[in-house]
Amino acid sequence: MLRNSVKSLQYSVNHVRKCLHRSVVQIRLCSSSSGKPSDSSEELFDRVKDKIRYSSYVEDNTLKLGYRRNKIMESRLEKARRDHATHQVRARPFPIALEQLYGERLQDPSPVDAEESEEVVDYFPYQKLVRKVERAPREELPEDTTPTTGDWMSDYEYYEEDEDDDRKSFYGTPDPKEPVSNIPCGGCGALLQCAEPSIPGYLPSQLFKGRSKQQLQTSICQRCHFLKNYNTAINVTVSPDDYVEMISSIRDKKALVLLLVDLLDFPCSIWPGLSEILGPDRSIIVVGNKVDLLPRDCPGYLDNIRNNLTKTFLEAGFTKNNIKHVSLISATTGYGVEQLITKIHNVWGTRGDVYLVGCTNVGKSSLFNALLRSDLCKVKASDLVQRATACPWPGTTLKMLKFPILRPSDHRLYLRSKRLQSERAIQIEEEKLRKHQARSTGSPQFATLIGHIGQTFAPEKSQTSDHFSVAQRGGGSTPILTLNEKSEDFINSKWCYDTPGVVQPEQITNLLTTDELLLTLPKQMIRPRAYLMKTGLTLFLAGLGRLDYIEGPESTRVLLYASPNLPTLICDTAHAHEIYQNLLGTEYLRVPRADPDRLAKWPALQAGPDILLYGEEKHISVADVVLSSAGWIAINLPADSEAVFRAWTPERRGIYVRQPALLPHGMVLKGKRIRGSLAYREGDAFAKQ
């Protein structure tokens, strides 16, 4: 009797699981970018669901629902879906950019028909922003809505709003006849101009013409204005040829190059042929940024990363004589920056200028800001130089910004070392506390590498400090944000330059829109995702890449290092193309986002050459298969075995094989195997010693 009851209970549980699985995969929790729920995505998934071995999107929703009270949860989800659909039909689509520009006055318009809402699918693409936008007339505002400033340029320092003009271009009004000024933007360094919105340094003619030199010196270009105030990127094209020409100007100068690399995106973030552009005798300090986002797979993981980075640069054409030091830092948390400054003082001093060089998104502007408030910058200059604009979009820094370098005399170096020694004791205690918190809680936030950037020679405060404050609208003192290079304080100085960045041809970042880029770039320490791969299977990383396991041992394990916002999907290789075509633009792949026009222009995945790997040691990753800027997959093989893989990315961009693996001991971070699944549960971000 008991045995029959157990069998009956097991049958009921399995039946509930199957019903729940079918209900979950049929319910779309997110809508497409057009603002209407995409019913077709359910049909597309139904076509291929029998050919899918694993989907992280389905798995995540199944785990969230659980297996108890499933009918109640299903009814709640169905009600939420209906409410969401009703809201999307009633509300016009409203991109983030316009929401920031116009405030809340268009958030709750009068109800419209579904057919009418289809006519306003999108005001403008995020990366084009070229259409003119018609302002809503003031008389149409709801009575209970507080009027906003009305125009995006109203928060500029010297703009006078014209109440009679109800129609404005998104870019303001350009004037091609107006010559370019010789005054750089305080945010990106580009020369201010009002002739063409698509080139660096653009200011609308309303803000540019008739302004004095002193007023322009306190202004920033429109692009930096949007980045700082609205978190919105306006695309500006920078020619790679211009980038190469600018970097080539360093070749004949006596200068030190701080070559920044994104540790989550190398060798894709190393400009090809850079060693030849800089010259054979160039002194270089390699700076690997974003080390705080890499998981800790073993106690000596930093040495493994440093050795791997050095090997990559040697393969890229640099020599050991060129590379004076390899530094691992986090420009965001400050880790390693003080050690980098000490190395610059010891290796270089003030023998020449210092240049920050690197591709987009490697963190040059963030490091520039950190160095500006450190012992590398002259004390008198640190308050006079406006900080560079730092943001996650490609092409942020457009022209060279600079600050004067503090001359490291013996006495100054002694005082600096005394300060660092006194702070070191405090940092050791903080590290012990954080290590204890990480072990007890398991939270990666306590395992994140953090450093402190201080100033040994703090700027003197005086009663004239108000002259450097930002001017208030309508009056107040004029801010001084530029340096007089011919003054006695700076005429003999050496300078630290922040050079512009450019998208490396192997990167896919320029293919992504703003919201897609934010999904792709990790913001916290990465937790590797482990999968059991069998021959003849394919692993998809969102719509950005895939890895085929062609032949080798019957099964092997792989580790995926990528943003947790990018879903994964495993299927038979024979059905991979069909599944990709059906699910592209849905939440099952998520990136790229659902937009018919965008998907029509999205480049197809193309395969690189077959990758042959040999197993060396159990539980040790033998190599990393890099999928451009999306992430990488570490391969684990049994000892004395060989396997063949094939990687795919858009236009075959950025497919590399890193040997040895960046984090060879990553298997210790994986979680337990999910029963009946090819996936493992989310593991740790650090190894608990």
Q: What is the pLDDT, as a whole number, of residue 545?
A: 96
- Kindly report the average pLDDT of the chain as a whole number: 77
| Segments forming the whole domain that contains residue 216 | 179-234
Burial tier of 210 (Cβ tally within 10 Å: 0-12, 13-18, 19+):
exposed
Q: What is the pLDDT, as a whole number, of residue 133?
A: 31
Note whether 226 and 276 are same-domain residues. no
Residue 308 confidence (pLDDT) above 90: yes
Note whether 223 and 322 are same-domain residues. no
Neighbour order of strands in the sheet with 495-498 = 323-328, 283-289, 255-262, 353-357, 495-498, 401-404
Range name among 86-90, 189-193, 349-353, 635-639 with the lowest pLDDT average: 86-90
Q: Is residue 474 part of a domain?
A: no
| Triad 315, 624, 303: Cα angle to 5° | 65
Per-residue pLDDT averaged across 355-370, rounded? Answer: 88
**H helices of 442-593, where?**
514-520, 576-583
Looking up residue 324, the CATH number of its domain turns out to be 3.40.50.300
Q: For 563-577, how does the pLDDT look when each residue is reduced to its tens digit (9 = 90+)?
A: 999 999 999 999 999
CA-based end-to-end distance of the chain: 50
Short-list 233, 203, 232, CA closest to 218: 203
Q: Is residue 188 part of a domain?
A: yes
Comparing 517 with 608, which gets the higher pLDDT? 608
Please give the DSSP secondary-structure letter assigned to residue 565.
T
Residue 649 confidence (pLDDT) above 80: yes
Q: What is the pLDDT, as a whole number, of residue 233?
A: 57
Note whether 219 and 252 are same-domain residues. no
Q: Is residue 523 part of a domain?
A: yes
Residue 7 confidence (pLDDT) above 90: no
Domain boundary among 433, 468, 498: 498
Q: Is residue 117 part of a domain?
A: no
CB atoms within 10 A of CB 21: 16
> Which run of H or E residues covers position 657?
strand 655-658
Note whether 431 and 558 are same-domain residues. no
Per the CB < 8 A criterion, the answer to whether 277 and 248 are in contact is yes
**For the chain, percent of residues with pLDDT exceeding 70:** 70
How many angstroms separate the most distant Cα atoms in the chain?
Answer: 98
Note whether 206 and 264 are same-domain residues. no
Q: Is residue 668 part of a domain?
A: yes
Short-list 355, 457, 460, CA closest to 409: 457
Per the CB < 8 A criterion, the answer to whether 233 and 124 are in contact is no
Q: For 515-536, how does the pLDDT look when each residue is reduced to its tens digit (9 = 90+)?
A: 888 889 898 999 999 999 999 9
Please give the DSSP secondary-structure letter assigned to residue 675.
T
Number of domains in the chain: 3
* 222-225 long-range contacts, CB within 8 A, separation 24+: 222/171, 222/172, 222/197, 223/188, 224/185, 224/186, 224/187, 224/188, 224/389, 225/156, 225/187
Residue 471 confidence (pLDDT) above 50: no
pLDDT grade for 8, boundaries at 50, 70 and 90: low
The whole-model pTM stands at 0.75
Residue 48 confidence (pLDDT) above 80: yes
Note whether 195 and 266 are same-domain residues. no
Per-residue pLDDT averaged across 259-266, rounded? Answer: 94
Backbone angles phi, psi at 323, to 5 degrees: -80, 105
Range name among 44-53, 191-200, 234-243 with the lowest pLDDT average: 234-243
Note whether 673 and 572 are same-domain residues. yes
Per the CB < 8 A criterion, the answer to whether 54 and 589 are in contact is no
Q: What is the pLDDT, as a whole number, of residue 38?
A: 46
Per-residue pLDDT averaged across 102-129, rounded? Answer: 36
Domain boundary among 234, 259, 281: 234
Q: What is the pLDDT, as a whole number, of residue 30?
A: 39
pLDDT grade for 10, boundaries at 50, 70 and 90: low
Q: What is the pLDDT, as a whole number, of residue 478?
A: 41
Tell me the three state secondary structure of residue 29. coil
Q: What is the pLDDT, as a whole number, of residue 459?
A: 60
Q: For 374-391, how does the pLDDT look when each residue is reduced to its tens digit (9 = 90+)?
A: 999 887 776 666 666 666
Q: What's the full length of the chain, in residues?
A: 689
Short-list 571, 573, 557, 687, CA closest to 634: 557
Q: What is the pLDDT, as a whole number, of residue 143?
A: 40
Note whether 187 and 260 are same-domain residues. no
Q: Is residue 427 part of a domain?
A: yes
Q: At residue 214, what is the residue type? A: Q
Note whether 218 and 364 are same-domain residues. no
Comparing 137 with 214, which gets the higher pLDDT? 214
Note whether 323 and 213 are same-domain residues. no
Q: What is the pLDDT, as a whole number, of residue 667?
A: 93
Domain boundary among 165, 199, 234: 234
Per-residue pLDDT averaged across 549-576, rounded? Answer: 95
Q: Is residue 96 part of a domain?
A: no
> Which run of H or E residues covers position 99?
helix 96-102
Residue 339 confidence (pLDDT) above 90: yes
Q: Is residue 209 part of a domain?
A: yes
Note whether 602 and 563 are same-domain residues. yes
Going by their DSSP bridges, the two strands 642-650 and 611-614 should be labelled as antiparallel
Q: For 172-229, how does the pLDDT look when each residue is reduced to its tens digit (9 = 90+)?
A: 788 888 888 888 887 777 888 888 776 778 888 888 888 888 888 888 888 788 777 7
Note whether 536 and 649 are same-domain residues. yes
Per the CB < 8 A criterion, the answer to whether 192 and 185 are in contact is yes
Highest mean pLDDT among 176-185, 236-245, 633-642: 633-642
pLDDT grade for 94, boundaries at 50, 70 and 90: very low
CA distances (Å), 368 to each of 218, 297, 324, in order?
A: 20, 30, 20
